[in-house]
Chains A and B, each alone.
Chain A
Amino acid sequence: MQGRGSNFDEMFDGEGKTRPAYAEYCRWYGEQPPELMRRKNREADDTFRRTGITFNVYGEDDAEERLIPFDMVPRIITASEWRKLSRGIEQRVRALNSFLYDLYHRQEIVRAGRLPERLLRSNDAWLANMVGFTPPGGIYTHIVGIDLVRTGPDEFFVLEDNARTPSGVSYMLENRETMMGMFPDLFSRVAVESVSNYPRRLARSLAACVPPAFSGGKPTVAVLTPGIFNSAYFEHAFLADQMGAELVEGSDLRVVGGRVQMRTTRGYKPIDVLYRRVDDDYLDPLTFNPDSALGVPGIMDVYRAGGITIANAPGTGVADDKAIYSFMPEIVEFYTGEKPLLPNVQTWRCADKDALGYVLDNLAELVVKEVHGSGGYGMLIGPTSSKREIAAFREKLIAKPDNYIAQPTLALSTCPIYTAKGLAPRHLDLRPFVLVSPEGIDITPGGLTRVALKKGSLVVNSSQGGGTKDTWVLKD
């Protein structure tokens, strides 16, 4: 799809001049022999394949594992841009945590009439058995990914909040490693904020949330993965490895003596903090989906009794809901008493009659998303859809308006990618990663830049053929 209107390009201004953030990079790029860049581009692919930085695609027999294409042109953010962004992100994440606490306690925001109660009732991620329970340290979202898009020099919007289980941080780290391996001279010329201590900070912030049953010494942290066939297994193994935590599966765990314990070669050993990369539904077959073999029978009872910390807390997915998203400006204001520093994208809630009418009249111009959807699935991008697709979607929308929100098709910013024919602009977004612990909120400079590889496309999801870039925050 063609981006609409004139897009903001992050590297070049309207007259084709290099913007200041990219000045040194472009000078360096101009000095590189084209043949060297072609060779480096091939090298990058080999590196990712050899190290097995892959993800699995569901529903494709042939390709059990695929690479997420890596583009070797970095995406660069200035120090002052980042300062602004990180203030906005911190405010939003703080509000998210307070919001989750409130939802599972007194629901002041509903009482105050600022959030309709039906949004909770209709929310699949809402967990009744979290009501009245406070997770260790009062933290619900230990790890958050905030998806941002840019439309202009000073215009950043939050596209969605990932409070449940944001993924992609391993790509942020490996992209940087790959870039430093390929272009060491570049990093000696441009001062870039480091991202490499993310795993250490993650380990520290998880260890800061030990449960009441923790018996002292060094907390035992484990990463719970659905297993090697999960699409993000590489990331699970990567993070466990980098944190020095055990990588466990449901079959390794059992409730023994009021604790969740893992089966080691020495017998069962209690886990203090479980960084789970398994959805709520599969976490405890006794509480949720009884067919799940991925979780631990009884873990919710142990959790509520203070025997283990689960990160992120069960039930945080409530906040990922796109209908809740549309209330985020009110939510931020309600809990922080401040105006949101980072705006939302304008959103029509199809549950509202007036909004639905507008959306139905303007389907060809809008992006319509499922309230609980993710990964770029189940959405309509009006401007690129055929009349038939729009007509089919219209019926789904009329049948179940509560299930959808709509947003304008944004003129997403672009940044060039490397192609055989030279640099070519492509649309991108940004997912910064945020760690929350009782010690505070910690945002790794930069994050994961996802980039659409097809000319004009606005879809950046890796499951839909998007790629990634190394993301630089310049030092002052």
Chain B
Amino acid sequence: MLGRTANSLFWMFRYLERAENTARLLEAALRMALTRDLVTAEAEWRSVIATLGLQKAYEAAHDGYDGLQVWNFVLRGPSNPGNVRTMFGAVRSNARTARTNISSDVWEAVNENWMRIDRLLARPVGQTMVGEVLGAIRRAGTQVHGAFDGSILRDEGYHFARAGTFIERADSTARILDMKYFLLLPSLSYVGSSLDTGQWEQVLRSVAGARVYSWLNAGQIEARGIVEFVVLDDRFPRSLAFCRNALRDCLGALARTHGVEGRAVALMRDSDTRISHLCVDQIFDQGLHEFLIDFLARNASIAHAIAEDYRFHA
């Protein structure tokens, strides 16, 4: 496969994942804003912008953190070059570039969803529409992944696409957790008591894990349990451990089909020895924030190594 095509598959799925995760983050914030007081709501919208790393661009364009303003900025803001509408454009143009390496089912799922979402995001998204728009963005991810699983040859292209998905997902989960932890820091000086359980629930909702977590834990919301679930539970498909395992499989398969292990595999191994046997207490001991920052940096360097190992660029 061409290096450029591998790059397109990798980024097509990164952008798709990023769009979906952004929609989940907004959905969780929307729910929070509807169920809590104004001050909490504003803080929540502020944390959305911070989690996405958009503070500077946002504050240059807007005063105050009003929900309507925030989601329009994130979804379609012209002064936000990484808005969701642009992300979908990037999903589609990468899919077009890799057109000969994806099935018609995948292409049509991408194209149809792009047409729908691009139309929805062509005008400002009001209160009455935002739920529908976010739902459409989430479903786009589901449909493309569904078409992909059902129709794509399990060759290197499949693994490049999956690598993109799990690099991006791990990045997103780690950022959401880190931002909440940062906001909650004062109350964590004594772990285990008087936590704002609503805020922790918010983490779960942003990673689509609220229902399954409460099912596993009989409805008990508790910081240690949530961190353990979101970081270490390898049964949960948006946990760091799950993403890590999936990425390890992709890199292994790529190394086998190419007959050579690259730098990405070495970085993965190095990173594994640091986290594979961790328990949640050790994470809190070394500091959750420090742990997550280290994780994000390693994740990014693996992504970089994949691009080099497989000649994404000339």
> Would you give the 0/1 interface string for B98-109, flagging 1 where the beta carbon is closer than 8 Å to chain A?
011000100110
Determine the chain A residues whose CB is within 8 A of the CB of B97 once the complex forms.
228
Report if A265-B156 is in contact (Cβ < 8 Å); known contacts: A51-B104, A240-B100, A241-B100.
yes
**CB of B258 within 8 Å of the partner chain:** yes
CB atoms of A241 and B314 under 8 A apart: no
Quick check: A252 and B3 within 8 Å, CB to CB? yes
Complex CA distance for A265 and B97, rounded to whole angstroms: 16
The answer, among B4, B156, B310, for a CB contact under 8 Å with A249, is: B4
* B4:A251 contact, CB within 8 angstroms: yes
Confirm or deny: B111 has a beta carbon within 8 angstroms of a beta carbon on chain A: yes
- Which chain B residues numbered 83 to 115 have a C-beta less than 8 Å away from chain A? 93, 96-97, 99-100, 104, 107-108, 111-112, 115
Interface size on B, as a range, is: 20 to 34
Please tell me if the beta carbons of B99 and A262 are within 8 angstroms of each other in the complex.
Answer: no
Give the residue among B2, B6, B310 with the most A Cβ atoms within 10 A.
B2
Q: Residues of B contacting A51 with CB < 8 Å?
A: 104, 107-108, 111
Q: Considering only CB atoms, which chain A residue lies closest to B115 in the complex?
A: A49
Contact status B96-A228, CB under 8 Å = yes
B39 within 8 A of A: no
| Interface hits, A233-277 → B, CB 8 Å | 233, 237, 240-241, 245-249, 251-252, 254, 262-267
**A293 CB → nearest B CB, Å:** 11
Residues of A within 8 A of B107 (CB): 51-52
> Is B34's beta carbon under 8 Å from chain A?
no
Q: A210-252 toward B: CB 8 Å interface, digit per residue (1/0)?
A: 0000000000000000001000010001001100011111011
What residues on A are CB-neighbors of B60 within 8 Å?
none
| B3 pairs with A52, CB closer than 8 A | no
Q: Which of B4, B6, B104, B156 counts the most chain A CB atoms within 10 A?
A: B4
- Would A265 and B3 count as touching, CB distance under 8 A? yes
Cβ of A248: which chain B residues have Cβ within 8 Å of it? 2
B304 CB-CB contact with A under 8 Å: no
Does B216 interact with chain A (Cβ within 8 Å)? no
Chain B residues closer than 8 Å to A252, beta-carbon distance: 2-4, 314
Contact indicator A264/B100 (Cβ below 8 Å): no
Query: Which residue of A has the minimal Cβ distance to B260?
Result: A266
CB < 8 Å: which of B1, B96, B104 contacts A265? B1
Cross-chain contact B4 with A52 (CB below 8 angstroms): no
Given A51-B111, A228-B93, A265-B258, is A237 in contact with B2 using a C-beta cutoff of 8 Å?
Answer: no
With A50-B108, A51-B104, A251-B314 in contact, is A263–B2 under 8 Å at CB?
yes
**Complex Cα gap A293–B220 (Å):** 60
**Best-buried of A52, A246, A267 by chain B (most CB within 10 Å):** A52
Give A262's nearest chain B residue, CB to CB: B2
Using Cβ atoms and an 8 Å threshold, which residues of chain A touch B311? 263-265, 267
* Contact of B99 with A263 in the complex, beta carbons under 8 Å: no
Q: Are A264 and B108 CB-contacts (below 8 A) given A240-B100, A247-B99?
A: no
Q: How far is the CA of A51 from the CA of B1 in the complex (A)?
A: 23
Q: In the docked arrangement, what's the CA distance between A254 and B1, Å?
A: 16
- Cα distance, A264 to B1, chains bound together (Å): 5
**A50-B108, A51-B108 known; A264 and B2 CB under 8 Å?**
yes
How far does the Cβ of B16 sit from chain A's closest Cβ, in whole Å?
Answer: 17
Give chain A residues whose Cβ lies under 8 Å from the Cβ of B1: 264-265
User: Cα distance A249–B8 when bound, in Å?
Assistant: 13
* Number of residues of chain A lying within 8 A (CB) of chain B: 23
Say how far A181's CB is from chain B's closest CB, in angstroms: 13
- Residue of A at shortest CB range from B156? A265
Contact of B3 among A245, A247, A264 (CB under 8 A): A264
- 1/0 per residue, CB under 8 A from A, across B4-19: the answer is 1110000000000000
Contacting residue for B258 out of A237, A241, A266, CB 8 A: A266
Q: How far is the CB of B126 from chain A (nearest CB, A)?
A: 25
From residue 257 to 286 of chain B, which have CB atoms closer than 8 A to chain A?
258
C-alpha spacing A251/B108, complex, angstroms: 27
| A246 neighbours in B (Cβ, 8 Å) | 2, 100
Given contacts A262-B2, A263-B4, contact A52 B111 (CB under 8 A): yes
Query: Closest CB-CB distance, B290 to chain A, in whole Å?
Result: 35
* A245–B101 alpha-carbon span in the complex (Å): 10
Docked-complex contact B111 and A263, CB < 8 angstroms = no
Residues of B within 8 A of A233 (CB): 96
B110: nearest chain-A partner, CB-CB: A52
| Interface residue ranges of B198-252 to A (CB < 8 Å) | none
> Whose C-beta in chain A lies nearest to the C-beta of B108?
A50
Q: Which residues does chain B contribute within 8 Å of A240, judged by CB atoms?
A: 100
Give the docked Cα–Cα distance between A240 and B98 (Å): 11
A251 partner residues in chain B, CB cutoff 8 A = 4, 314
> Among the listed B100, B108, B156, which residue makes an inter-chain contact with A237, where contact means beta carbons less than 8 Å apart?
B100
Q: Mark A158-180, 1 if CB is under 8 A from B, else 0.
A: 00000000000000000000000
Complex alpha-carbon distance, A246 and B6, angstroms: 12
- Smallest Cβ-Cβ distance to B114: which chain A residue: A52
Interface string of A437-460 (1 = CB under 8 A from B): 000000000000000000000000
Q: How many angstroms from the CA of A245 to the CA of B115 in the assembled complex?
A: 28
Question: When chains A and B are docked, how far (Å) is the Cα of A189 from the Cα of B126?
Answer: 53
B3/A241 in contact, CB under 8 A: no
CA distance A265 to B258 in the complex (A): 8
A186 to chain B, nearest CB (A): 23
Instruction: Establish whether residues B99 and A241, one from each chain, have CB atoms under 8 Å apart when the complex forms.
Output: yes
A66 to chain B, nearest CB (A): 14
Instruction: State the Cβ distance, A467 to closest chain B Cβ, in Å.
Output: 21
A247 x B100 contact (CB < 8 A): yes
Bound complex: CA of A240 vs CA of B101, how far in Å? 10
Name the A residues within 8 Å of B4 (CB-CB).
249, 251-252, 263
Q: Are B96 and A52 in contact (CB under 8 A)?
A: yes
Given the known A-B contacts A49-B115, A50-B112, A263-B314, are A237 and B104 also in contact in the complex, defined by CB atoms under 8 Å?
Answer: no
User: A263 to B3, Cβ gap below 8 A?
Assistant: yes
Give the distance in Å from the alpha carbon of A111 to the alpha carbon of B224 in the complex: 92
Instruction: Verify A237–B96 contact, CB threshold 8 A.
Output: yes
Alpha-carbon separation in the docked complex, A246 to B157 (Å):
13
A residues within 8 A CB of B2? 246, 248, 252, 262-265
Interface bits A78-93 vs B (CB < 8 Å: 1, else 0): 0000000000000000
Q: 17 A-B pairs, CB-CB below 8 angstroms? A: A50-B108, A50-B112, A50-B115, A52-B96, A52-B107, A241-B100, A246-B2, A247-B5, A247-B99, A251-B4, A251-B314, A254-B314, A262-B2, A263-B314, A264-B2, A266-B258, A267-B311
Given A237-B100, A246-B2, A263-B4, 5 more A-B residue pairs with CB atoms under 8 Å apart are A51-B108, A246-B100, A263-B311, A265-B311, A267-B311
Q: Which A residues have a C-beta under 8 Å from some C-beta of B? A: 49-52, 228, 233, 237, 240-241, 245-249, 251-252, 254, 262-267
Interchain residue pairs A-B with the least CB separation, the first 8: A265-B310, A237-B99, A241-B100, A263-B3, A247-B100, A240-B100, A52-B111, A228-B96
